[in-house]
Chains A and B, each alone.
Chain A
Amino acid sequence: MELSELNVKKQRPVHLDLQTIHFPATAIASILHRVSGVIMLFAVGILIWLLNESLSSPEGFAQVQQWFDSIILKFIVWGILTALGYHLLAGIRHLIMDSGRWEEFDSGNKSAKAVFVIAIIFSVLVGAWLW
C-alpha cells in the first residue's frame, strides 16, 4: 500500500452528529449561487419567449399581460426574479471579495447572511409587486 493511502485509511476521529454539524453561511451562499445560476440558465429561455410574444404585436402584448393574470405565470416569474435577485446580489458580493474585502471568517459569514436577508426582502417585494 502506498504511504498516501495509509495516511487516508488510518483511524481518525469521526464527527457525524447531524444535530450539531451544519454548513456555514458562506457554503450555503456558494451553493445557492450555483443553484440560482442553473435556474437562470433555463429562465432566460422563458424570458426570451415572453419578450418575443410581447413584441410581436399589440395583440401579443395583450396576450402576455393576460398570462400574467394566471397564478402559474406569476409564480414562475416570481421564482425567476427571486433566483435572479439572489444571483445578482451574490455576484456583487463576489466582486467585493475580489477587491480583498470580506475574506475573513467573520466578515465572510456576515456578508453571506446579509445577502440572504436582502435577497429575501427583494423576493417579498417582487411577490407584492406581482400580486
Chain B
Amino acid sequence: MVTNAASFGRSGVHDYILIRASGIILACYTLFLLGFVLTSSPLTYDAWQGLFSALPMKVFTLLALVAVLVHAWIGVWQVLTDYIKPLMLRGFLQFVFVVLVLVYLLAGISIVWEV
C-alpha cells in the first residue's frame, strides 16, 4: 500500500471521510454564526461576549478550529501535491501551513479561555 507521510489521514479513504466530516462541522459553525449575527442586529458587546462566554459556544468554536486544522491540512496537501513538484519545497510549504493552522487553533484556545 502506498502511504504518504504528509497527508493527514492513514489513507486516501481516511482523508476523504475526514475532509467531509470537518467540512460539515465548519458549515454548521458558519451558518450558526451567520444566523446569530443576522438575528441580533445591531450587535452589542454584551450579546457577543455573552455568546462566547457560554461553554457550548466555546466547545463549538474549538471544535470548528480543530475541523479547520483537519480540513486545511488535507486541502493544502491536495493543492500542493498537484502544483508544487519539488519535494523539498512542497514539504516545506506543507509544514508552514500546518503550523499556521495549528497557531490558529492555539490562539483560539487562548481567546475563548479568557472570555
Interface on chain A toward B: helix, strand, loop, or mixed SS?
A: helix
Tally of contacts, chain A with chain B, CB under 8 A: 51
With contact pairs A44-B104, A48-B108, A54-B48 given, residues A88 and B79 touching in the complex (Cβ less than 8 Å):
no
Give the size range of A's interface with the partner: 20 to 34
Chain-B contact segment, one of A1-9, A10-18, A91-99, A101-109: A91-99
Q: Are A45 and B104 in contact (CB under 8 A)?
A: yes
CB of B30 within 8 A of CB of A51, answer: no
Q: Is the CB of B27 within 8 A of A48?
A: no
Question: Is B14's beta carbon under 8 Å from chain A?
Answer: no
11 contacting pairs across A/B (C-beta < 8 A):
A34-B75, A41-B100, A44-B72, A44-B104, A48-B104, A48-B108, A48-B111, A52-B111, A55-B49, A55-B114, A88-B30
Q: Which residues does A use to contact B, with CB under 8 Å?
A: 34, 37-38, 41, 44-45, 48, 51-52, 54-56, 58, 61-62, 84, 88, 91-92, 94-95, 98
